[in-house]
Structures are given as C-alpha cells and as structure tokens.
Amino acid sequence: MSHLAYFVAAWLFLVGLYGVVTSRNMVHLIICLSVVQSSTYVVLLTIGYRTGAAAPVFVDIPPSTPAVDPVVQALMLTDIVVEVTVMALLLALAILAHARTGELDPNRLGLMRG
C-alpha cells in the first residue's frame, strides 16, 4: 500500500501513452491525452497526503490541526484548469481538421511527410 498510489500514477501515464500511440481516431487520441495528464494529479495528490491529517480547511477545526499539504492541491487545481482549456483547443483543431479533410484517423492525417 505504501507506494501503491504512486504506481497508479505511473500506470495511468503508460496506459494513456499506449492509447495515444495506438489510436485510430483523433478524438480518442485527445481523450487518451487527458488520461496521461491525470497521472500528474495522482502523483501530486499522493505526495501531499498525510495519514490521519485533515483537509487544509480550518473552518470547524483549530488552525493548529495537522493538515495535508495545501501546496500540491493548489498545483493540481492549476493543472486541472490548464488541462481542460488545452483540451478545448485540441478538440477545436480536431473537428476543423475533420471538416477540411473528412479524415479523423491520425495515421491518415499525414500531409507533412518528408
């Protein structure tokens, strides 16, 4: 258990990459990319976690209560917002590429050969 969560992060990274490399559909590829990105959430979250500590919100608990690391959570928050906006850009590019060429398979979107 002690390192399980870390290994889940590595797993998500690799699985997502596998999906990207084997993808036959641009939208599928972009979603696999979001799985790759989610691996960073898991690793950050695990690094900041402390067994038995509270969430870093001191509303009903005194400020001296041991709490988990708020910094990694702030980084994750940034990361999530960044991810979704980049996904929007990628999806816009993909649907336009489809509208102009009628092609969604990344293996056949090869105008740039050579």
Partner 1 sequence: MTTLLQALILGMVAAGGLAVVLTRDPLNQSVVVSFYGILLAIMFFLFQAPDVALSQIVIGAMALPLMILLALARIRRKREPPEPK
Partner 2 sequence: MAPPITVALPLATAAAVAACHRWIPRWPALLLSAGASLAVAALGVSLALDASHSGLLLYWFGEWTPRTGHAIGIDFAIDPTGAMLLVISATLVTFAIVFAFRYFDTAGQFFQVLMLIFLAALAGFSLTGDLFNLFVFFELMSAAAFALCGYKSEEPAPLQGALNFAVTNTIGAVLVLTGIALLYGRTGALNFAQIGRTLGGRSDVLVLAAFAFIVCGFLVKAAVVPFHFWLADAHAVAPTPVCVIFSGIMVEMGLYAVVRIYWTVFSGALGPFHNELRNLLMAFGAATALVGAVMCYAQRHLKRLLAFSTISHVGILLLGIGLLSPEALGGVGVKLLGHAMTKGGLFLAAGILLHRTGSVDEIDLHGRGRHLGWLAFLFFFGAAGLAGCPPFATFWGGVMLNQAAGRLGYHWITWVALGGEIVTAAAIFRFTSRVFLGWGTAHGVLIAGAARIPEKPDTQGGHEHTPFAMYASATVLALLGAAAGMVPHLTRVAHSAALRMENRAAYAARVLDGVASAAPAARDTSATFPDLAQGCGAVAAALLLAWLTVCSPSARRALGSFHPLRRAVQYLRDVHSGIIPDYVAWLVFGVAVFGGVACSWVLWHATIPAQLR
Partner 3 sequence: MALFLVSAAVFGTIYVAALASLHPMGVADAASASYGNRINAATVSERHITDAVTAVNFDFRGFDTLGEEFIMFASVIGTILLLRKHRDESEGTPRDQKAGREISPPSDAVRVISVSLAGMVVTFGIYIVTHGQVSPGGGFQGGVLLAAPPLLIYLAGEFQQFCRLAPRPLVEAGEAVGAAGYAIIGVIPLFLHAAYLYNFLPLGTPGDIFSGGTVALIDLTVGLEVAGGFIVLLLAFLEETLVRRDPA
Report the C-alpha dihedral over residues 58, 62, 63, 65, rounded to 10 degrees: -100
Site for partner 1 in 64-93 (CB under 8 A): 67-68, 73, 76-77, 80-81, 84, 87-88, 91-92
- What the block records as the tokens of 83 is 């991810």
Helix, strand or coil for residue 46? helix
The reply on whether position 86 binds partner 2 by CB under 8 A is yes
Site for partner 3 in 18-37 (CB under 8 A): 18, 21-22
**Quick check: 39 and 13 in contact, CB under 8 A?**
yes
Rounded to whole angstroms, how far apart are CA atoms 19 and 94?
17
- Contact positions vs partner 2 (CB under 8 A): 13, 17, 20-23, 26, 29-30, 33, 36-37, 39-40, 43-44, 47, 71-72, 75, 78-79, 82, 85-86, 89-90, 93-94, 96-97, 100-101, 106-107, 109-114
